[in-house]
Structure 1
Amino acid sequence: MSSIREAEQELTLLGGSTVYRQDYAPECLEVFTNKHQESDYWVRFHCPEFTSLCPITAQPDFATIYINYIPDVKMVESKSLKLYLFSFRSHGAFHEDCVNIIMKDLIRIMDPRYIEVLGDFTPRGGISILPYCVYGRPGTKYEALAEQRLANYPVR
């Protein structure tokens, strides 16, 4: 029971009223303590309703964002991630920029062992873009994993 109370103290968004931010808001992200730090395991988020704006035309861009990571001490809470991703809705950024911003913000708040972010953007003008970025903690086996995963970039 005490571990549930500890988690409640770490998180402020669960159970409260939801406020949707209208522009990029990395401060929405919340983390909680990983209870299985001794183990390597994957956490995968499939986010099929991502929206951002083209920074030149202000036209909406739609994507499915895939986030896969191997946690260390901290893990991202899913409601906060949802609100964070929603905050891109009125944010102007190219597709490649979006996935890199997402990855860097998650690294900053979680310091995972490994993380990868893939954006599967719907076609506009007959071209779809699938930017992919990876990070493995430097000097560890996760750095080698990131190099391997990037070399074998996932294709459909």
Structure 2
Amino acid sequence: MADPKILETFPNPAAHRDYLIEHTHHEFTSVCPMTGHPDFADITVRYVANKTCVELKSLKLYFHAYRNEGIFFEAATNKICDDIGNALKPRSLTIVANWKARGGFSSVVTADWKKKK
């Protein structure tokens, strides 16, 4: 399973301001745990940083760690949300996973991160 320790951060250069950061990875791949067939998605990470931002090479390596993992769409999207949220502790975070059609269905799974109280 993808290790969230792969994710690296750097200081937010404008921590005094709310501004939206959006990264989309167009080559996300995992494996359906039921059929063993590959699943493909565009994963969009949309967040307002607090003290740190995610470093893109580490984000790419984190996403590539899912390549051979058997995981359902919903589980992958929510794990990504939790892992990035816990690494960044952003003011807000939304993960949008746009899964490519397979078996006649395409799916979009959206997860929002909230700080634990």
Q: What is the TM-score normalised by the length of structure 2? A: 0.94
Return closer, same or farther for 1:41/1:138 CA change in 2, 3 Å cut-off.
farther
82, 95, 106: which one pairs with 1:128?
Answer: 106
Task: Report the AA paired with residue 93 of structure 2.
Answer: I
Shift of residue 137 of structure 1?
A: 4.4
Counterpart for residue 27 of structure 1:
5
Q: Is the 8 A contact 1:41 1:70 kept in 2?
A: yes
2:60 to 82, 87, 90: 82
Distance 1:80 1:138 in 2: 24
1:13-24 superposed matches below 5 A: 23-24=1-2
Aligned equivalents of 2:29, 2:116: Cα separation in 1? 31
Q: 1:65 aligns to what?
A: 43
Q: What is the CA-CA distance between 1:25 and the residue it aligns to?
A: 2.5
Runs of 4 or more, structure 1, over 6 Å off, are none
Partner of 2:77, secondary structure, is helix
Matched residues, number? 117
Larger RCO (CA under 8 A, 6+ residues apart)? 2
Task: Tell me the secondary structure at the aligned position of residue 37 of structure 1.
Answer: coil
The aligned amino acid for 2:74 is E
Gaps of 5+ in 1: 1-22, 140-156
- Where is the helix percentage greater, Structure 1 or Structure 2? 1
Largest Rg, 1 or 2: 1
SS of corresponding position for 1:68: strand
RMSD of aligned alpha carbons: 1.5
One-letter amino acid of the counterpart of residue 72, structure 1: N
Corresponding residue for residue 96 of structure 1: 74
Identical-residue share of aligned pairs (%): 35
In structure 1, C-alpha distance between the alignment counterparts of 2:116 and 2:4, rounded to whole Å: 24
Letter in 2 for 1:116: T
Q: Secondary structure at the match of 1:67?
A: strand
Point out the structure with the larger strand share.
2
- 8 Å CA contact 2:82–2:113 kept in 1: the answer is no
Are the aligned partners of 1:119 and 1:130 in contact in 2 as well (CA < 8 Å)? Answer: yes
Q: 1:75, 1:63 → 2: CA distance?
A: 23
CA–CA distance in 2 between the matches of 1:61 and 1:129?
11
Deviation (angstroms), 1:30: 0.5
Give the Cα separation in 2 of the matches to 1:24 and 1:133: 18
